[in-house]
Amino acid sequence: MEETASGDNCQNLCEKANEDTLLEAALYKFPCFGNLPTFRNLIHLEVLVCDAYVWILPEILQCTSNLEVFVFILDEDAYDWNWRAPLSVPQCLSSCLQVIEFNDFEGVPGETEMVEYFLKNALVLKKMTITYLTDLKTSEVDVLKRLSTCPKGSDSCQIVIIPEHQRSFKVANWRMACSREQADFTETY
């Protein structure tokens, strides 16, 4: 009986799949996750992720084959990175992803490895912007040095590293909106 209820939930989720349900499917590991549709029209994606769910990123990118802009915002309370490079490179990385933004960068090992993975595998990347926290655990110079020497898939990629106080207010406003939605989500379940 429980399998049927779970299967019904999975079917409903897949029928109504969008960016929000994509994340829900990954979080709850619905059996249909591997069969989620491709979001062919999605070209700009902004994701707020806590460190415990950073593994979801490759799964999400697998479903966004025409993604051109990817904005990654790390939850402020992140402390333990769990990044593992996926076995296969998402199609958007090798064919169309041109802009990547990493916000609230702290320079911790797993986080730096993830940035290096994107630099190495994004073959048409034009610009990567890394906004670092002012209390960065690793100095800006060390991060720049490490990232400038790592292999890059795109020869024309420009890496821009800026302190958080110079970024736009967009990230802070986006984070507040997500916090409200998360509170609503918690209340309904």
Between helix 2-15 and helix 19-28 the angle, nearest 10°, is 150
CA atoms of 157 and 94, how far apart (whole Å): 13
* pTM exceeds 0.85 for this model: no
129: β partners: 101, 160
What is the chain's mean pLDDT, rounded?
72
Predicted confidence at residue 92, as pLDDT, reads: 94
Q: pLDDT over 90 for what percent of the chain?
A: 25
Predicted confidence at residue 66, as pLDDT, reads: 94
Say if residues 26 and 33 touch (Cβ distance below 8 Å): yes
Q: Which tokens belong to 36?
A: 């989620």
In 10 A of CB 122, how many CB atoms?
Answer: 26
Q: What is the pLDDT of residues 40-76, one digit of tens each?
A: 899 999 988 776 677 778 878 888 999 999 998 877 6
Q: What is the pLDDT of residues 159-187, one digit of tens each?
A: 888 887 666 555 444 444 444 444 333 33
Residue length of the chain: 189
Q: List b or e across 149-167, with b for residues whose CB sees 16 or more CB atoms inside 10 angstroms.
A: eeebbbeebebebeebeeb
Residues 6 or more apart whose CB falls under 8 angstroms from that of 74 comprise 48, 49, 50, 51, 102, 103, 104, 105, 106, 111
